[in-house]
Structure 1
Amino acid sequence: MKNPLVSIIIPCFNVTEFIEESVQSALNQDYSNIEIIIVDDGSTEDVHSVVKQFLTESVSFFKKENGGLASARNFGIDKSNGELILPLDSDDKIHETYVSKAVNIFTQRSEVSLVYSKAALFGAEKGEWKMGDYSFKHLLLDNMIFCSAIFKKEKFLNVGKYNEKFRFGREDWDLWLRYLDEESIVIKIPEELFFYRKHSGNSMSDQFSNALENNVNLFDLFYFNRKLYARHFDNPITQLHRNKELEIKYQKLQLKYLSLKKSFYERLKEKIKSFIK
């Protein structure tokens, strides 16, 4: 992989007040071999009028019927020509060296599957976006890779793209579970090169974040990847029994502790009484 074309996919559903910053951060890259694909996922706002100033041979715009974030990303990737893919939500930004540093890693190490970086919050909240370090074992329990990681298009297509049934988020976590495995090489650049906007309104990826829908997402994540989870964890019934056994043991230990504590204070009181006498 030498001087690979990198396709930056920017899906958008309204939120047009931020997309210029997002596109500009992509254009500001110090790596020149990039294309930018903006996908309007059925917005009610006039996205084209906002982004038309950026459109060139290497910056294209498409409009499609609303299908959700996963659908918009898949659409953009299908239109792309790059060997490497970088999804970028329309209210987020990337540092000007993010692509070049990632490409340098892919170029030097052909076995690498995915590259991402440290991240920072901006907008309503500022500071480091603290996410745990990657391991596939930990990835089964929590997602520590943000959506704007850089990955190989060929492998992405081979694992079946984003699952468009995830209409309420978690689509990136689901992808990583299929795209990666225990042997995958994942590199985290130790610099803040991705910037995630926090604001009072809803970002494209946050718009379905209430508790009920999150629970549905987690169930779907488990269900669609149940064979993977079955290889690493007990079946749910066995796990429930073990949890119940641990709960009973904890209750017994708690009672024993309270009994010992009471006994200790009783003995202490007796000693104090005898000393006073």
Structure 2
Amino acid sequence: MNPDNHRQGLVSVVIPIYNGEKYISETIRSVMDQTYADLEVLCIIDGTKDQSLNLIKKLGDERFKIFEHENRGATYTRNRGLSLAAGEYIIFLDQDDVIKPEFIQAAIQEMIRTASTGVAVNGHVIDSKGQIIRRMYRVNKPKLTLGSLLKGNQMYTPSQVLLKRKSVSETGGFDIQADQADDWDMWIHQARSGKLVFLDRDLLRYRLHDANQHWDHDKMLRSELHIVERKLLGERNPQAIKSYSYLRYSERTADWSALAKALKLNALLIFQPRFYWTALHIAWTRRKSNAKQNGGTGLSQK
């Protein structure tokens, strides 16, 4: 995209699509229902062979542009959307999430009010049928400073963040090598070179379902370590940053050795309540697993 073709006020909505036929119509309708009308929607088919393409065409909105390529993954597809985007603003909307009608207008107003380069919103987690599970952020709201983000990704999804397109382009887009942690890498870049703020309004429905709940925890750890070891060595105390990756991994996998690795990297964890909460979580998870294996008694069989 030639920079001269970028249009002030326009919002580019980039939707990477892979096997998205179950939810894509609802997602796209949520974009069509926005109170902010100056939009372009880039629907990028990432090698899928389901009915997503036909469903998008049936909706018949001239603001929607469809692109196709062979399967390259979500990170590559987001970057292609970035290269095609003509907007002053951009949002990378996942194919199964839903934005409320005021999302874009409210986020732009907040961005202007705070002179920020990115606005993250609150919302609710929903299930496959659209039923609300819980509030995304209740008591502990995200702190989107660089120092806080270096301790871990506080976002649920790229869908909740409206960004200045120029600020994303200047960071080089999403890092394909960062894989499952590519969004964390992006938020770190944005906090370092710009300003991220949190808008505590219910503007998003983040969907959990069978296809997106089964994360590869080992792959996530490798992705996070790639960021720390390749990009954050210049930060103060990179070993401490790495320790939080192992701490998260130990919680997700109930792995005592990972918790010990985290403590070895950062002895100051012993002064943090989160360390003890994680230890209790591991102990409880392993006890439940042992109980299930031993017939529900929690005691070893003789």
Deviation at 1:187, TM superposition (A): 2.1
Counterpart-to-counterpart distance in 2, 1:113 and 1:56? 29
Q: Which amino acid aligns with 2:169?
A: L
Change (3 A) 1:56 1:221: same
- Give 2:35's aligned residue: 30
Secondary structure in 2 matching 1:170? helix
After TM superposition, give the deviation of residue 15 of structure 1 in Å: 2.7
Give the structure 2 partner of residue 257 of structure 1: none
Q: What is the aligned partner in structure 2 of residue 223 from structure 1?
A: 229
Residue pair 1:31, 1:100 contacting (<8 A) in 2 also: yes
The two structures, once aligned, show a CA RMSD in angstroms of: 2.7
CA distance in 2, matches of 1:234, 1:221: 12
Is 1:161 the counterpart of 2:166? The answer is no
* Alignment-derived partner of residue 198 in structure 1: 208
Larger Rg: 1
Number of equivalences: 237
Q: Which has the higher contact order (CA 8 A, sep 6+)?
A: 1
Residue of structure 2 aligned with 1:151, choices 141, 145, 163 = 163
How far the C-alpha of 1:3 sits from its partner, in A, is 6.6
Instruction: State the TM-score, normalizing by the size of structure 2.
Output: 0.71
Which segments of 5 or more consecutive residues in structure 2 lack a partner in the other structure? 1-6, 243-260, 272-302
Q: 1:219 and 1:234, CA in 2 relative to 1: closer, same or farther beyond 3 A? A: closer
Aligned to 2:54: 49
The residue that corresponds to 1:114 in the other structure is 118
Whole-Å separation in 2 of the counterparts to 1:242 and 1:226: 16
Please tell me whether residue 243 in structure 1 is matched to residue 267 in structure 2. yes
Q: Which position in structure 2 is the counterpart of 1:87?
A: 92
Residues 152 and 197 of structure 1: is their aligned pair in 2 closer, same or farther, counting only changes over 3 Å? same
d(CA) in 1 for partners of 2:38, 2:121? 20
For residues 181-225 of structure 1, what are the alpha-carbon distances to aligned partners after superposition, in whole Å with 9 as ceiling and x for unaligned? 2x74322111111111011x213xx56x12221221221121232
Alpha-carbon shift at residue 166 of structure 1 (Å): 3.1
Gaps of 5+ in 1: 248-277
Letter in 2 for 1:193: L
CA 1:107–1:211 in 2, change beyond 3 Å: closer, same or farther?
closer
SS in 1 for 2:23: helix
The separation in 2 between residues aligned to 1:141 and 1:100, in whole angstroms, is 31
User: Hey, what does 1:185 align to over in structure 2?
Assistant: 195
Deviations 1:159-178 (A, max 9, x none): 110011233x1111111112
SS of equivalent residue, structure 2 residue 107: helix
The 1:234–1:51 alpha-carbon spacing in structure 2 relative to 1, beyond 3 Å, is closer
1-structure distance, mates of 2:30, 2:199: 18
Distance apart, 1:144 and its partner CA = 1.3
Kept after mapping to 2: 8 A contact 1:85/1:151: yes
The 2-side partners of 1:242 and 1:165 are apart by 26
* 1:102 is the counterpart of 2:107: yes
Q: Shift of the alpha carbon at 1:243? A: 3.0
Whether contact under 8 Å (1:3, 1:33) holds in the other structure is: no
For structure 1, which segment, 15-24 or 183-192, has the greater mean C-alpha deviation from structure 2 after superposition? Answer: 183-192
In the aligned structure 1, how far is the partner of 2:228 from the partner of 2:98? Answer: 30
Question: Hey, what does 2:134 align to over in structure 1?
Answer: 127
In structure 1, C-alpha distance between the alignment counterparts of 2:186 and 2:195, rounded to whole Å: 16
Q: Which amino acid aligns with 1:215?
A: L
Please state whether the residue corresponding to 1:62 is helix, strand or coil. Answer: strand
Structure 2 residue matching 1:90: 3-state secondary structure? coil
| AA in 1 matched with 2:166 | E
